[in-house]
Amino acid sequence: MGTMQNLAKNLLEQYCKNADNTAFSKFYRLEATRLWQFLRNRGCNEAGAYDLLSETFLKFIQVVCKDLRSPVALLYRIAINSHIDQFRRDKASPIDKIDIDVEQQAEEETEFQDEKEYLQSVIKNLPQDEQNLLFMRYRVGLTHKEIASMMDLPEGTVRRQGASIINKLKQQWQDDVNDA
Amino acid sequence: MTHRFTLPTELELEELIIQVFENMTSADQSRLSVIESRLLHKAQRKKEINLNKTPWWIVLLLVGGFATAAWWADKLFFEEQNVEITKDLPVSDGNIEARESSMNSTESYKYESENNNESYEDSESPIIYQRESF
């Protein structure tokens, strides 16, 4: 994962220093799918996630060359801020909320056949901040330090939160086994 | 929510989390490509704008600098030249015309007024008296 971060950083250095659009294109292909998944995970609908992805990259182009220390963290920070802005603009649709409620109810009655399927449903029920942290850590591969800088939190806090989420998941796992 | 799975270790759980995120629905590559081309177009335009802007600032700065330098150089050069000519030329009847022609308009105006008074004294000249040769 660390190598991926270095690759992303090198590509952006090439883009900023030599105005190399091919390097930016490679960076985009490296990050776009994950960013789209992240936005979907935050509750964006499919079309909305594409729009937000485009908006995020547009803003990213304008600022990335000013500070190349942790560009991927910057990208996700812009995405989170853009999503919050969009949420404030549009407000949540009540129809979507009903859908989610029905979905959650359906999940509660399910007995899971696969560990991944079960864990996915547990992660879905975590608060948004905790889901973000897990995504950043295990999907994007950011370090605690990078996540801390992205979320404007001390590194120790992020470490503690990470450990706490893992413990929470384990506890939930244990509780659900006992229920069976 | 119920299941029959054994509790994983921390490492196993982390591995499972990675797999859960990797198994998420992927984006449509054709839509991502459309966004990519739009982004590259914007990035290209931004670069062009920057390239167009920068030389104008430099050119403006250079032209301004050269103009100021030329103006100062011109002023200093002619002032020095006039002083030298004034000092070198002997104050004689035959040379007055040559002296007048080599001076700038201010100086020549001064000498014209002196001619009118039939006085050929140069106030800045160290020569206070010289016999005129006919």
Work out the pLDDT band at B31, boundaries 50, 70, 90. very high
Q: Please, where are the H alpha helices in B89-132?
A: 96-102, 105-116
Classified as helix, coil or strand, B2 is strand
Mean pLDDT to the nearest integer, A49-70 = 91
| Selected residue of A75, A120, A175 to mutate for chain B interface (largest B Cβ count, 10 A) | A120
Q: Check pLDDT > 80 for residue B55.
A: no
Task: Residue window 15-44, chain B: list those with CB within 8 Å of chain A.
Answer: 16-27, 31-32, 35-36, 38-40, 42-44
In 3D, which of A24, A5, A43 has the Cα closest to residue A139? A5
Residues of A in contact with B24 (CB under 8 A): 37, 40-41
pLDDT given for residue A138 in this prediction: 93
pLDDT given for residue A19 in this prediction: 83
Round to whole Å and give the CA distance between B10 and A175. 16
Q: Which residues contact A40 (CB under 8 A, 6 or more apart)?
A: A46, A49, B24, B25
CA quadruple A83, A86, A88, A92: dihedral sign: negative
pLDDT given for residue B64 in this prediction: 94
pLDDT-above-70 percentage for chain A: 85
Work out the pLDDT band at B29, boundaries 50, 70, 90. very high
Task: Say whether B7 and A110 touch across the interface (CB within 8 A).
Answer: no
**Between the ranges A50-64, B2-16, B118-132, where is the mean pLDDT highest?**
A50-64
Work out the pLDDT band at B47, boundaries 50, 70, 90. low
Neighbours of A66 (CB within 10 A): 8
Residues of A in contact with B13 (CB under 8 A): 119, 166, 169-170, 173
Work out the pLDDT band at A97, boundaries 50, 70, 90. very low
| Selected residue of A136, A165, A169 to mutate for chain B interface (largest B Cβ count, 10 A) | A169
Task: Say whether A120 and B20 touch across the interface (CB within 8 A).
Answer: yes
Alpha carbon distances (Å) from A179 to A94, B1, B40, B57, B87: 33, 8, 54, 73, 115
Mean pLDDT to the nearest integer, A8-36 = 90
Task: Residue window 6-65, chain A: list those with CB within 8 Å of chain B.
Answer: 19, 21, 24-25, 28-29, 32-33, 36-37, 40-41, 49-50, 53-54, 57-58, 61-62
pLDDT given for residue B120 in this prediction: 56
Residues of A in contact with B41 (CB under 8 A): none
Structure tokens at B39: 């982004």
Structure tokens at A16: 């900023």
Q: Check pLDDT > 60 for residue A52.
A: yes
Q: Check pLDDT > 80 for residue A72.
A: yes
Higher-confidence residue of A155 and A177: namely: A155
Chain A residue nearest residue B14, CA to CA: A138
Chain B residue nearest residue A171, CA to CA: B7
Task: Say whether A33 and B32 touch across the interface (CB within 8 A).
Answer: yes
Round to whole Å and give the CA distance between B27 and B95. 95
Mean pLDDT to the nearest integer, A17-31 = 90
Put residue B104 in one of left, alpha, beta given phi > 0 → left and psi -120 to 50 → alpha: beta
Work out the pLDDT band at A35, boundaries 50, 70, 90. very high
